[in-house]
Structure 1
Amino acid sequence: MRYTIGIDVGGTFTDVVGVDAEGREYLAKAASTPHDQSEGVLQGLVNLATAIGLTLSELLETTTRIVHGTTVATNALLERRGARTAMLTTEGHRDVTAMREGLKPARYDLRLPQPAALVPRQLRLPVRERLRPDGGVEIPLDAASLDAAIATLRAQQVESVAICFLHSWAAPKHEHAAAEAVRAALPGVFVTCSADVLPQIKEFERFSTTAVNAYVGPVVSRYLTRLEARLREAGYAQPVFVILSHGGMAPIAEAARLAVGTALSGPAGGVAAALALSRRGLGEQLVTLDMGGTSTDIALIQDGAATLGRGREVGGERIALDSLDIITLGAGGGSIAHLGSGGTLEVGPQSAGARPGPACYGNGGTEPTVTDANLALGYLDAARFLGGARLLDTAAAERAIATLAARLGIDAEATALGIYRLVNARIADGVRVATVRRGVDPRGATLLAFGGAAGLHASAVARDLGMARIAVPLFAAGLSAWGMLQTELRHEIARSVVSAEAMPGDATLAALFDGLEGEARTQLAQWFQGEVVAHRAADLRYGEQVFEITVNLDGVTPDRAGLREAFHARHRALFTYDLPEEEVVLVTARAAASGLLPALPLLPAGAPRPADPIGTRRTLLETGWAELPVHAFDELGTGQKVAGPAIIESATTTVLLLAGDVARMDEGGWLSIELPKGG
């Protein structure tokens, strides 16, 4: 039997999903190991092999593909544990990253301190050179100036160097020459050029993104190299792929080169899963709710497609690469409930993480978390958590909540319910950011709830938003890892355009897009031999606008008329109007090549087999304590219905149905929950 494996490293658990050649799916979990994520990954693989009935070596020898989502780059940025990084930049421009476009997070706060620099000023070294916007040389690269900068790099014992010269997006010759000199003088130092990371106009975004790549590159490279070596030692001989922030994936060497592209690696798997389920009939309008141990990730699927964004900030640093538009909240099962500065109850963003974890884990945690509240309220079964692999300590959870309740001056039951209500309200607000603030009414979408904790909160969140339908996959706890197996190899390339005219001529446009597509296909051919699909897009704006809109050009003739018509249509869709009489300016041309991998097989739907509840559980709802029937998630037959209030649980996830909810097991493998009209 052959297997494909997806691995998602979360803040609390590492999820490992295996799919065999007949479509059977297996899920295993292991505690995440933040000090070295590869340890948790290997333990997860051991647990997966055990679940299948194989040894680790037998599993890996029969595995054809491993796809991995990692938070190494994200953690390095958030915790400031990246490499000692320097920057070489055009003389007179060393403070581009410090000026940050003249903006600050709170523009009217006069006491707001300057953000801590990723690359300190003494390591931002000027080099005498200058290119013009058309790529012509204004000042040749000065060898003496470069040698002096390299001498400083050596003396400062830097681990990584970002090379960011003015207008290098138009011609990379000076950056590449400087990179060769640095590599020759300082072997072993990680070197990255802005022309290779983000060859686009807007100096701050290009410099910032390249600095982040240099800062996290050595950390990500060391981790991926170590992981690959451990997998090889364990018997795996096939490629390892890493899912990137835009939802595609790349081999380890490319992910290490463009490490900044892994900053949103983990959450991208959940969006990929949502797209796959959308294609399988779940619907074209989805709001994803991925609630794990540390955070909740929310994204929007419209008309069966995910939204890409640009200019995201992670750890206060601008990353201008394409990434899936995901809203991340510090609201997970491990989020800590505490007394806020105003003496009121607050939840998160601090998390108990994997160690010590919630108080009920018995690892020394003493602060109450969302998971502790769910256990105290009766929503979780202390003896069946993770299929009984981990017994939860209800008394420890209640003690932690009672301590907080005493500080609040209310009883423990009210405190536990308050924690539950508050985290639900925070998540609902996050959904509004992902939908309402983007001009989308969430009431017409299905709330796709996954991650280990989402099933307990989905109904309350959906009612707050006026949503009428929820879907919870049977594999909810490992859906992000499963989604990584549904994506494709992808290489993107972009090039900014400077023209005397707002829009280059038709022949120039055709040559530009053909050239970019050819470059993307050539790069992808180094990793992949198979069917390739190309996509084209462009960043366009009206002449007087100061921002661009990315317009999909698939199926559009790449000439002036085609680009203008596509831009007007996209502008109307986003802002309800367009200005046909205004000139349209092309800022950046884009192309991507996607290598299509074999689709995972589907098991045929099982026959209806109504199953009785497996027991009852005393649970505290808004109306008081009640004995709720408990159903086994994996025993529900296709078409079987369960009416709320009730609990549906599997080894790795629990779903709470509130009064009026009606859940039906869909043949696609998910629980479809209809909410009563009016909430």
Structure 2
Amino acid sequence: MTRVRIGIDVGGTFTKAVAVDAHTLHLLGQALVPTTHHAPEGVAAGVVAVLRRLLERHAIVPEDVALVAHSTTQAVNALLEGDTATVGILGMGRGRDVLEAAKRTHIGDITLAPEHTLQTRHLFVETTHGLTRETARQAIQQLQAQGAEAIVASEAFSVEDPTHENLVLDVAAEMGVPAVAAHQMTGAYGLEVRTVTAAINAALLPKMLETARHVEQGLRQYGIHAPLMLMRGDGGLADLATMRQRPILTLFSGPAASLAGALLAGRVVFGVFLEIGGTSSNISLIRHGMPTMHYVKVMSHPTCVQALDVRVQGVAGGSMIRSGARGLVDVGPRSAHIAGLPYACFDPAVLDAAHLRLETCSPTPDDPDDYVVLADEQGRRWALTLTCAANALGWVPRGAYAEGHRDAALRAFHLLGAMWGMSAEEAAQAVLNQATARIAEAIRQMTREYKVPHDRLLLIGGGGGAGALVPPVAQALGITYTLPRHAEVISSLGDALAWVREVVEQPMRGHDNGHDLVREARAAAIRSGAAPHTVSVVVERDEQRGMLRAIATGQAALATPTHDLRMTPEEAQRLAAEACGMPPNRLELLATNDVFHVFRVPRHWWRAPRLAVVDVRGGVRFFSGKAHVVFGTPPHLLERMQHLLGASPAHFMPDVRLLIDGQLIDLTAVGEPTTSLLETIRTIVEPLDNKRVIAIVGG
């Protein structure tokens, strides 16, 4: 029996689905339908329709489906279009924090986009002497009377004690009111940011809950009882229960799915992923084998939600050409899809059409009448697009999804060139230059910002228009490019094959035990649908925000591929060397286990010696070269740790990181005395019997 993983990406124009063999990871089939923005069920109707088409076209029986995962632009679109619920904020505080808590939870209306705001209502309850269920019920009723459709419970210091927020959630559930607690968004301090994040999340709840219900009903209708998961904006999957609670995590899930798919094509140390859609293009960066992340901002409002740092450009494969009295005006932002027109290069009828001429149009009523279209005497019309320009110039690789009829494209650009006083090729080149320059500059700006070495950069293309724009952009940047197989459905592949991901944060406090944070993150990933034996956790410090962050990833339960993810020391050495910009033979392997490989990197030009840690998924992390690497069984490691820590001055405690069973546990922020730190380490490693453990101490 072939177990099948299904990935579905809800794009702005099309909803695409793929079926993948869960064991071999080979693509079994794909299907496509227009995205159903205006259906009564919303985009859920398209998800169900494309699922039905995929099952029927490729004879997949429901019992063989192991997992269904999808990404969606719904959360982003809801914010851009102001399609959000009115949120009632129940602020709470006690003792000396009452006045400050009342101020910090009264955030007012949130600007989402020009002419769109998220409306909030506010009610504050003092909880110095506790909170009763009846008080919570009355407060929710008062907020509902003011028009609130979803509730936020936000109390000062709830990250330490969420009792009152949880009580409000329980009462809201009894009343059938969608609700979210601020402490569910993050474990970080910062009442106002938590409240803003929770308010945006709550505003999405009613619409997202409705969509989830329709999709779940559609799956059950076809006899599919496999787990349904959604792509998060940080590139991981989460189950439906998590998304029902925190739909804000799906912001930018579409680009995240695409990047997840691109990373499956091969391990990349430094890369730019350029996804070319029909109307817009997304740019994201890979640095040291890992996607670059940032905290999402909604207009001027910071949130505590991490997602891929995605830069959007309003040019893509379907972008139409705008022409004026002096020639080229612009390319885009409207596309052939918005105008409802076919691409000229995709229709061989253009070659035989009689009396072809150029006209202009307004793709939407508010657009200028300067978008160029091709028309014939029969009233047929075609759009001149960037994809047409690339085909006319022969840029599109043979067999790429964007490959069209070059002669048809040249015939269209011959008319445009005549109008501009130039050849067809010159007209196509002018159009292509305008678009590629814009994308190339956005990539340069992003690589400068993240200090990514230009000479080691690889451009990875995805999306249906990748074959048209990625090659000329690569030439403009002077770098190499690659187009992964099935680039046109790369986002759906990313959905089908992504891993579950959960992030747990807490402020750095001297008494914290890093192992407890690891356990919490691991448990959260398992609750979100990860198979326990596949979960790994990395703990990192965010010095700027004073946060300790645990990131847990694991393969989806019931859909785990039979092959194990492995990396040889030789491949790890190559990746570490590439990240350092030196030959692999200069790196010395110090320690290795099933998940991590540790190398000593010698001095290189002005850079001091350092340690490079490569994980099984290709991520590369660097630590000080002054650190000691201890490798061995728990008894050996404890003996060496006692010596190293005992030799440190009483007022100075060295950094300690443990690499165990797929976990990178950072004990640096624990800040305990030597005896307590040793006891923490003993608690972590003693149950491991004779497994070989790696510790990085000092630096």
CA shift at 1:76, angstroms?
0.7
Matched, 1:161 2:173: no
> For residues 567-582 of structure 1, what are the structure 2 equivalents within 5 Å?
none
- Contact conserved, 2:393 with 2:425, CA < 8 A, in 1? no
Cα deviation, residue 193, structure 1: 0.8
Deviations 1:425-484 (A, max 9, x none): 1211221232122211333111111111011111211122121x2111221101121122
CA distance in 2, matches of 1:392, 1:438: 39
Unaligned runs of 5+ in 1: 105-112, 131-136, 542-546, 549-586, 603-679
CA 1:77–1:303 in structure 2 vs 1: closer, same or farther (change >3 Å)?
Answer: same
User: Would you say 1:298 and 2:292 are equivalent positions?
Assistant: no
CA distance in 2, matches of 1:537, 1:144: 41
1:477 aligns with 2:488: yes
Q: Deviations over 1:481-527 (max 9, x none)?
A: 11223321222221224x5xxxx1xxx232xx222222233333343
Counterpart for residue 318 of structure 1: 302
Aligned to 1:455: 467
What letter is aligned with 1:3? Answer: V
Query: Does 2:452 correspond to 1:440?
Result: yes
Quote the residue 2:165 is aligned against.
175
* CA distance 1:319–1:380, change in 2 (3 Å): farther
Equivalent residue in structure 1 for 2:272, among 278, 287, 301: 287
Q: Distance in 2 between matches of 1:114 and 1:379?
A: 38
User: What letter is aligned with 2:48?
Assistant: L
Name the structure 2 match of 1:374. 387
Match of residue 589 from structure 1: 548
Q: Secondary structure at the match of 2:36?
A: coil
Structure 2: how far apart are the matches of 1:374 and 1:12? 16
Aligned with residue 329 of structure 1, among 313, 319, 334: 313
- Cα distance in 2, alignment partners of residues 291 and 92 from structure 1: 46
Q: Distance in 2 between matches of 1:338 and 1:344?
A: 6
2:62 is equivalent to residue 70 of structure 1: no
Q: Deviations over 1:80-123 (max 9, x none)?
A: 112232222246326764599xxx9xxxxxxxx99767443xx4
Structure 2 CA distance, aligned partners of 1:452 and 1:241? 24
Q: Distance in 2 between matches of 1:234 and 1:355?
A: 35
Alignment partners' CA distance in 2, 1:462 and 1:530: 41
Per the alignment, do residues 84 and 412 of structure 1 end up closer, same or farther by CA in structure 2, a change over 3 Å counting?
A: farther
The residue number in structure 1 matching 2:20 is 19
Q: CA deviation at 1:261?
A: 0.2
Q: Identify if the C-alpha distance between structure 1 residues 247 and 275 changes in structure 2 by more than 3 Å, giving closer, same or farther.
A: same
What residue is the counterpart of 1:60 in the other structure?
Answer: 62
Q: Secondary structure at the match of 1:461?
A: helix
SS in structure 2 of the partner of residue 76 of structure 1? helix
- 8 Å contact kept, 2:503–2:521: yes
Q: Letter of the aligned partner of 1:533 in structure 2?
A: V
* Equivalent position amino acid for 1:33 in 2: T
> Aligned-pair distance for 1:357?
5.6
- C-alpha offsets along residues 625-656 of structure 1, whole Å, 9 cap, x if unaligned? xxxxxxxxxxxxxxxxxxxxxxxxxxxxxxxx
Give distance in 2, aligned partners of 1:301 and 1:392: 34
Contact 2:75 2:247 in 1 (8 A): yes
Task: Provide the secondary structure at the position in 2 that maps to 1:332.
Answer: coil
Does residue 344 of structure 2 align to residue 356 of structure 1? no
Whether the aligned pair in 2 keeps the contact of 1:169 and 1:496 (CA below 8 Å) is: no
Secondary structure class of the residue paired with 1:331: coil
Q: Secondary structure at the match of 2:483?
A: strand
Q: Which amino acid aligns with 2:73?
A: T
**Normalising by the residue count of structure 1, what TM-score does the alignment of the two structures yield?**
0.66
- Separation (CA, whole Å) in 2 of partners of 1:84 and 1:99: 10
Over aligned residue pairs, what C-alpha RMSD do you find?
4.2
- Structure 1 residues 371 and 524, CA gap change in structure 2 (3 angstroms): farther
Q: Which residue of 2 aligns with 1:621?
A: none
**Alignment of 1:85 onto 2:87:** yes
Which amino acid in 2 is paired with 1:284?
A: V
Amino acid across the alignment from 2:207 = V
Residue by residue over 1:183-225, the C-alpha shift from the partner in whole angstroms, topping out at 9 and shown as x without a partner, is 44xx232101111122312334222211111111221111121
Secondary structure of the residue aligned to 1:246 is coil
How far off is 1:233 after superposition? 0.6
Query: Does the 8 A contact of 1:228 with 1:240 survive in 2?
Result: yes
Match of 1:127 among 119, 124, 127: 124
Identify the residue that residue 637 of structure 1 maps to in structure 2. none
Structure 2 matches for 1:103-142, cutoff 5 A? 118-120=117-119, 123-129=120-126, 140-141=130-131
1:488 and 2:499 correspond: yes
Is it true that 1:227 corresponds to 2:215 in the alignment?
yes
AA aligned opposite 2:493: W
Unaligned runs of 5+ in 2: 93-100, 348-360, 365-370, 374-382, 565-699
Deviation at 1:380, TM superposition (A): 10
Could you say what secondary structure the match of 1:495 adopts? strand
CA separation in 2, counterparts of 1:89 and 1:352?
A: 48
The 2-side partners of 1:64 and 1:337 are apart by 45
Aligned counterparts of 1:400 and 1:458: Cα–Cα separation in 2: 24
Change (3 A) 1:461 1:3: same
Distance change in 2, residues 1:600/1:332 (3 Å): farther
Give the aligned partner of residue 346 of structure 1: 330
**CA–CA separation in structure 2 for the residues paired with 1:422 and 1:13:** 26
Q: Percent identical across equivalent pairs?
A: 27
Paired letter, 2:524: Q
Q: Secondary structure at the match of 2:535?
A: strand
Question: Are residue 517 (structure 1) and residue 518 (structure 2) matched?
Answer: yes
1:302 positional shift:
2.4
* 1:291 Cα deviation from its structure 2 partner: 0.8
Change (3 A) 1:398 1:86: farther
Give yes or no for contact 2:439–2:473 (8 Å, CA) kept in 1.
yes
- What is the TM-score when the length of structure 2 is the normalising length? 0.64
Aligned to 1:257: 245
SS of residue matched to 2:88? strand
Task: Measure the CA separation in 2 of the matches of 1:371 and 1:344.
Answer: 13
Tell me which structure has the larger Cα radius of gyration.
2
2:30 and 2:518 map into 1 onto residues whose CA distance is 38
8 Å CA contact 2:86, 2:149 repeated in 1: yes
Paired residue type of 1:330:
G
Going from structure 1 to structure 2, the CA distance change for 1:118 and 1:141 (only over 3 Å counts) comes to farther
